[in-house]
Structure 1
């Protein structure tokens, strides 16, 4: 379904504009899951239309040195990826939350009303993803193997239903109805780079003195990151914690001395 006549730069421009808009919504206290829905839908549509901004696959192409697939010079693509890593250090993983099509399609699938599993604290997924990241680097740099193509990330968005890899990633997407973002949390190589810096983000969700310790945010969080002791950068800014919080002003996005979620 990917329309080759549409420049991939359209996806990058959208990603930048969506990042700015979503960050403003969080910073101004106007972010809600309802307001995030148009971004999720637009991101998924752009994934199918131009296969961008699929940040993990762009990283894959940089590792393989494939400028043709990127649709831009390698230094420019690498610069863009590094820029969003810096932005994650400042504002958290906004790009993962609603902008990257790979994350957005899983976020939408998780809305399917079925019993959810895998809400344990986030250290196990982080460890698994770190191991996968090493394999990703060895496969790409040492063997010139496109690991994400084998998993079916491009095949899924290109709707290459004749390939086995399409059904591999389709299975991951279907799994995300019951397990929150399995690709993002266990596989994504770009997420492996974003998480460490996001754990130190200047702006992030924080508890204030208004917090009554009801722990509703912790029960609502699908990654375990609402636990103040987690701090592993696995907050995707989905908004479930702020939606569940019963006290206005107890959980805010900002910079300060408040306790981090």
Structure 2
């Protein structure tokens, strides 16, 4: 379905606009999961329309120095990907949460009402993804092998149903009905860079003194990031914790209070 005549820059422009709008919704306290749905739908649409902003694949193309796949000069692509890492360092993983089509399609699939599994602590997928990232770099830089193509990421959004790789990624998408974002949490090379940035994000969801310790946010969180002992690296800002919280103002998206 990808229309080659439409420049991939259209997807990145959408990504910037969507990121800004979502950051404002979180900052203003207006974000809800229902309000996130249009962004998820638009992101999936752009994925199938122009195959952008599919950040993991754009990062893959950058590693392979494939300007044609990027649809832009390499320096511009580097600047764009670095800019979103910087934005994540300020606002958290909004890119992964609702902007990237690969994440958005898995988020939609997780809405299927079936029994969920695999709610591992955030340290587990982080360690796995770090190992995969090393393999990814070795394959791309050392062997010029496009691992994400082998996994079917471009074939899926191009609807290349005659390709075996299409069904590989389709299987990952179907798996995400029961396991939350398996590609994002265990494979995505760009996510391996965004997670450390998100763990130090200036703005994040924080507990206030209004918290009554009911644990509903922790039970609602599919990654374990709502646990006070967990870091924010695996928080996808999906909004499940804030929607589940029974006390207004107990969970707030804000920056840390200054001491004194």
- Indicate the TM-score class for this superposition, using the shorter chain for normalisation: over 0.9
Q: How many aligned residue pairs are there? A: 258
Please list every run of 5 or more consecutive structure 2 residues that lacks an aligned counterpart in the other structure: none
Please report how far the alpha carbon of residue 142 of structure 1 lies from its aligned counterpart in structure 2 after TM superposition. 0.1
Structure-2-length-normalised TM-score: 0.98
1:245 and 1:175 map into 2 onto residues whose CA distance is: 28
SS at match of 2:206: strand
1:121 and 1:75 map into 2 onto residues whose CA distance is: 37
Is 1:201 the equivalent of 2:201?
yes
- Could you tell me which residue of structure 1 aligns to residue 225 of structure 2? 225
Structure-1-length-normalised TM-score: 0.98
2:195 and 2:125 map into 1 onto residues whose CA distance is: 12
1:82 and 1:256 map into 2 onto residues whose CA distance is: 24
Please report how far the alpha carbon of residue 197 of structure 1 lies from its aligned counterpart in structure 2 after TM superposition. 1.0
Please report how far the alpha carbon of residue 228 of structure 1 lies from its aligned counterpart in structure 2 after TM superposition. 1.2
Q: Deviations over 1:67-122 (max 9, x none)?
A: 01111000000110000001000000001000000000000000000000011211
Query: Is the CA contact 2:62–2:77 (under 8 Å) kept in the aligned structure 1?
Result: yes
1:188 and 1:173 map into 2 onto residues whose CA distance is: 13
- Could you tell me which residue of structure 2 aligns to residue 35 of structure 1? 35
CA RMSD of aligned residues (A): 0.8
- Could you tell me which residue of structure 2 aligns to residue 22 of structure 1? 22
Query: Is the CA contact 1:218–1:224 (under 8 Å) kept in the aligned structure 2?
Result: yes
Query: Is the CA contact 1:110–1:177 (under 8 Å) kept in the aligned structure 2?
Result: yes
Q: Deviations over 1:131-179 (max 9, x none)?
A: 1000000000000000000000000000111111000000000000000
SS at match of 1:30: coil
2:232 and 2:219 map into 1 onto residues whose CA distance is: 17
- Could you tell me which residue of structure 2 aligns to residue 9 of structure 1? 9
Please list every run of 5 or more consecutive structure 1 residues that lacks an aligned counterpart in the other structure: none
SS at match of 2:235: coil
Query: Is the CA contact 1:123–1:232 (under 8 Å) kept in the aligned structure 2?
Result: no
1:232 and 1:41 map into 2 onto residues whose CA distance is: 25
1:198 and 1:12 map into 2 onto residues whose CA distance is: 20
1:28 and 1:256 map into 2 onto residues whose CA distance is: 16
* Aligned 1:16-165 pairs, distance under 5 A: 16-165=16-165
User: After the TM superposition, which segments of 4 or more aligned residues of structure 1 sit over 3 Å from their partners?
Assistant: none
Please report how far the alpha carbon of residue 256 of structure 1 lies from its aligned counterpart in structure 2 after TM superposition. 2.2
2:232 and 2:217 map into 1 onto residues whose CA distance is: 17
Q: Deviations over 1:29-55 (max 9, x none)?
A: 000001000000000011000000000
